[in-house]
Amino acid sequence: TRRDFIKHAGIAALPLVAGNTFAQTAEFNMKFGSNLPATHPLNIHAYKMASKIKLETKGRVDIQVFPYNQLGNDTDMLSQLRSGALDFMTLSPLILGSLVPQAQINGVGFAFKDYKQVWAAMDGELGAYVRRQIANTGTIFAFDKIWDNGYREVTNSVRPINKPDDLKGIKLRTPPGPMWVSLFKALGAAPTPLNFAEVYSALQSKVVDGQENPLAIIYTAKLYEVQKYCSMTNHMWDGYWFMGNKKLFEQLPPDLQAIVTRNVAESAIMQRADVRKMNDGLQTDLKAKGMGINETNPDPFREKLRQAGFYSEWKAKFGEEAWSLLEKYTGKLA
Ligand code: X2X
């Protein structure tokens, strides 16, 4: 690779190609991939972060941003990240669940009452516990401050979801993660796991009736074009671990590693604020696009999950240590 070549040849020995000045030739060319549109705050902040890192490393680290599954869907990108074909990606902890089962714990239905609980847990002991599990893969790792996706809401084209019964028979796309399938089975829907890359066309062609995502995604991915109802279920909080390939990251000298690490954390804080603002403010815009929006009461949903054995099942799967770390922040769940 170019990186290896540079390492062995030394930067001074680099030949200059036509139209490529020394200043434009980074020593470390790195790639970041995500599943979201370029207009979503996650990518807006990824682009800003990449320029800041380039500036602070005096051009030595150049991170190229690939939004909206340009490098493949989440499953593809995760394999690339593990093999070293990709340097960085953002991924939902629940999708990571197929590789690191304990990572899914933030997705327990109706666990976090509010953002205060979310950040206390994810920036505290629960997040640290999950990052240790991710590091145990030996090939990939997650940076400290998880980026935000938000509380997830159900959209569909059949009827507004007011109570669990309304989900009966609804063919609902979920991301590919065991927790999602379990949650929506327990709620009585017919969950169909699909990568986000396939969601718009699956909704458009009516392969599925609905999906669930935070409003910022429903808006930036234009899902309102192919969905009629949006029900504010807030059934789970979801984030994005900013992850790296361990071996590739360790090829950076420590001072450059430190610049990247600090920028991922600082960008996370700004990204969280922007995602929150969007998720809190988009109802009016989505109504203007023709969506019917309804509020829901979480109690009957929680009760349905309890009756279906959802909480006891996942408590047993996660085990005492992880579950008590979760309940430390959320209060008693099961
Ligand atoms: O796949 C989804 O629905 C998304 C975009 O929310 C995730 O990355 C989990």
Residue nearest to atom 6 of ligand 1 (CA): 213
- Overall pTM surpassing 0.90 (yes/no): yes
Whether 22 shows a pLDDT value over 70: the answer reads: no
Residues 6 or more apart whose Cβ sits within 8 Å of residue 34: 42, 43, 46, 65, 66, 67, 68, 89, 90, 240
Cα separation, 197 vs 70, in Å, equals: 9
| pLDDT band per the 50, 70, 90 thresholds, residue 266 | very high
Kindly provide the b/e burial profile for residues 273-287, where b requires at least 16 CB atoms within 10 angstroms of the residue's own CB: ebbbebbeebbeebe
**Mutate which of 73, 92, 174 for ligand 1 pocket (most atoms within 8 A of beta carbon):** 92
262 burial class (0-12, 13-18, 19+ CB within 10 angstroms)?
Answer: middle
The CA angle 61-64-67, to the nearest 5 degrees, is 150
Q: Sign of the CA dihedral 161, 164, 166, 170? A: positive
Contact by Cβ (8 Å): 101, 232: no
Residues 6 or more apart whose Cβ sits within 8 Å of residue 76: none
What's the average model confidence in pLDDT over 305-332? 98
Cα separation, 321 vs 218, in Å, equals: 35
Bigger pLDDT: 147 vs 10 = 147
- Taking the CA of residue 174 as reference, the ligand 1 atom at the shortest distance is 3
3-class secondary-structure state, position 7: helix
**pLDDT for res 24:** 62
Both structure tokens of 259 = 């610049």
What type of residue is 172?
L
* C-alpha 17 to ligand 1 mean position (Å): 40
* C-alpha 150 to ligand 1 mean position (Å): 10
Residue nearest to atom 9 of ligand 1 (CA): 92
Whether 104 shows a pLDDT value over 70: the answer reads: yes
* C-alpha 139 to ligand 1 mean position (Å): 23
Residue nearest to atom 5 of ligand 1 (CA): 196
**147-151 and 237-245: which strand pairing?**
antiparallel
- Taking the CA of residue 214 as reference, the ligand 1 atom at the shortest distance is 6
**pLDDT digits 0-9 by tens, 32-76:** 999 999 999 999 999 999 999 999 999 999 999 999 999 999 999
**Mutate which of 36, 74, 179 for ligand 1 pocket (most atoms within 8 A of beta carbon):** 74
Contact by Cβ (8 Å): 86, 245: yes
